[in-house]
A = this chain, B = another copy of it.
Amino acid sequence: MTAYEPLTPLTLPHRLGGLDAVASRVGGDPASWSVEEVGDGNLNLVFIVRGAAGSVIVKQALPYVRLVGDSWPLPLNRSFFEFHALSRHARHDPGRVPDIFHFDEGQALIVMRHLTPHVIFRKSVVNGKVHPKLGRDMGLFLARTLFGGSALALDGTAMRKDLALFAENTALSDITENLVFSDPYFPAKLNRHTPGLEPFIAPLRADRALRIAAQEMKHAFVSKTETLVHGDLHSGSIMVTAEDTQVIDPEFAMYGPFGFDVGMLLANILLAFFAQAGHETRDGERDAYRAWLLETFHDIWTVFAAEFRLLWRTARTGILYEASVLENAADTDGSDAACARVLAGIWRDATGFIGVEMHRRILGLAHVEDLEAISDPARRIPCEARALALGRIAAVERMSLSPSDITDLARSILQRPPA
């Protein structure tokens, strides 16, 4: 096996030109390929390779956190977990993730479909661009992948085999454990925030109920290994066109709570909602877009819950909530009731994750372009303060808030001066 070596636009054609999986799709003489490095994420190299016949994406892990530099080493095996997660996602919800053409474990390298003319969903959020199918596509993706990776669908042996496999993705889980659940709630070294936001941060960090809630969500993240979660399902992990939705970058995949991906994604919808004011050139300009975002929030949850119920009735082939004591005991209503209780638990967890994700994107290391693109701090601060306020309520009151409560709160908070 060749030793790991990061690719560059110059070395890529020579190094990958001999691979049929690449060459047949790009076409022509590798020396003539155009290679562009486009990685704008926090962790990896991403190349678009174009040639006479077409184009592919080559994604290669770096042995450190790109956002921070080589002072923060990170194992290359995250590429292995991304490959395995993508394979499972493709099986559970065909067509919703990019096709994989080649995987090289030693080079931590995945060659996959070049999604074009797709853009990162977060760019659309900044630009106020509507994607009518996104809520439905993501609700289905969440239900199908989360149900499919759980012991609702899998027998104990199959589930525990994947549990053990993804338990080795410990370095990336560690990042989430620190950056999402702990750092935002104390003055951690890697934190950063908009100067001037301090008056809104101090009471938040002084809030005991919130700090405990955040640690309880960490407890759930670490110890509630219900299913294979994407692990990083924010607006930057979704690529869109007017017609299509694609989910990328599951390198944080691990066994975690059903509610984790759901909550992370919904939090990013709410962050987008509060960021809109910073992108308006006149008051109310983005009203329709805000309405679409909240509608999408509801679509995601409603479609998720409906599809989850459908899978419960038609694809419950695992070891949990056995038909032998429900449907086969002539108690279909009991089975429906059990499903409703499971969904209620997923929602409660999701609500808690909404809270911490909204906080960490404003107080922690990794921020979101929705807010960062607001160049004037005087305009950004109220957006962020309002998002912090909703996050706080979501985390602390997660046992009692419905989806409508959350979007009602979002609307109310937007109307009031941030506090």
Contact = CB atoms under 8 A, between A and B. Distances in A.
Interface of A: 150-151, 156-157, 159-161, 163-165, 167-168, 170, 173-174, 177, 182, 185-186, 188, 205, 208, 211-212, 214-216, 218-219, 222-226, 255, 319-322, 324-326, 328-329, 331, 333-334, 337-338, 341-342
B182 A324 contact: yes
Contacts of A223: 150-151, 224-226, 320
Contacts of A163: 163-164, 167, 225
Given A170-B157, A215-B326, A322-B182, A208 B334 contact: yes
B167 A325 contact: no
Contact of A156 (B156, B174, B226, B321): B174
A188 B156 contact: no
Given A186-B325, A329-B205, A319 B222 contact: yes
Given A170-B160, A211-B326, A222 B182 contact: no
Contact of A325 (B170, B215, B334): B215
Contacts of A168: 160, 164
A164 B338 CA distance: 29
A326 B321 CA distance: 38
A319 B186 contact: no
A152 to B, nearest CB: 9
27 contacts: A151-B223, A156-B177, A160-B168, A160-B170, A163-B163, A163-B164, A164-B168, A182-B324, A182-B325, A186-B328, A186-B329, A208-B334, A211-B325, A212-B337, A212-B338, A214-B325, A215-B326, A215-B338, A216-B341, A218-B321, A219-B342, A222-B319, A223-B226, A224-B224, A224-B225, A225-B225, A225-B255
A368 B159 CA distance: 31
A175 B342 CA distance: 24
B218 A320 contact: yes
Nearest to A165: B164
Given A164-B168, A185-B325, A186-B328, A219 B320 contact: yes
Contacts of A215: 320-322, 325-326, 338
A189 to B, nearest CB: 11
Contacts of A341: 212, 216
Contacts of A337: 208, 212
A163 to B, nearest CB: 5
Given A185-B329, A215-B326, A218-B321, 12 more contacts: A156-B173, A161-B167, A167-B167, A182-B324, A186-B328, A214-B325, A215-B322, A216-B341, A218-B319, A218-B320, A219-B320, A224-B225
A160 B214 CA distance: 21
